[in-house]
Amino acid sequence: MQIALTANGRRFDLDVEARRTLADALRDDCGLTGTHLGCEHGVCGACTVLVDGTAVRSCLMFAVQCDGAQVRTVEGLAGEDGAAHPLQAAFSAEHALQCGFCTPGFLMLAAGALEADPGLAADPDRLRELLTSNLCRCTGYEPIRRAVIAAARAMTPRA
């Protein structure tokens, strides 16, 4: 099937089988390998990207469902000048990664959540619930939690 999607502001015209996942299309057809594949069945969240602003598990979505959609991957987080996104800066400052395999998924999960509701990080229960969505098997969740809180502060305009 012929589809066109926009990823990180760039249009991609793709010829994909109906069964091709968004994750495979992004990685193999668009060359956006920052999106990682772990479980490939919707459990780990490593493949999280934003589709029209909403966090999705790209291993569970078909590429054809994204015809005409705006997709954002971890490659699209940094500013046009190359400056790290507040979440990327905070993950680095708070040591919120070790092997880094889960990191693109956590960054996109948090980016989608904070852009929709910057106040989320101030609510410990909601933040904990958000972060339980994705699996990290080596860093532990406390540095990730601290990083998201720090990024939310940096992203909130001061009065």
Interacting residues with ligand FES (CB under 6 A): 37-40, 42-47, 57, 59, 97-102, 136-139
Nearer to ligand FES, 46 or 121 (CB): 46
- For residues 149 and 143, give the distance between their C-alpha atoms in angstroms, rounded to a whole number: 10
CB of 40 to ligand FES, least distance (A): 5
Q: Is 81 left (phi over 0), alpha (psi -120 to 50) or beta?
A: alpha
Nearer to ligand FES, 55 or 97 (CB): 97
Nearer to ligand FES, 46 or 150 (CB): 46
Nearer to ligand FES, 23 or 150 (CB): 23
What is the side-by-side order of every strand in the sheet holding 48-51?
10-15, 2-7, 70-72, 48-51, 54-57
CB of 124 to ligand FES, least distance (A): 21
Cα separations in angstroms, 155 against 78, 89, 111, 150 = 13, 11, 10, 9
CB of 157 to ligand FES, least distance (A): 30
Cα separations in angstroms, 105 against 4, 78, 132, 158 = 23, 15, 12, 28
CB of 60 to ligand FES, least distance (A): 6
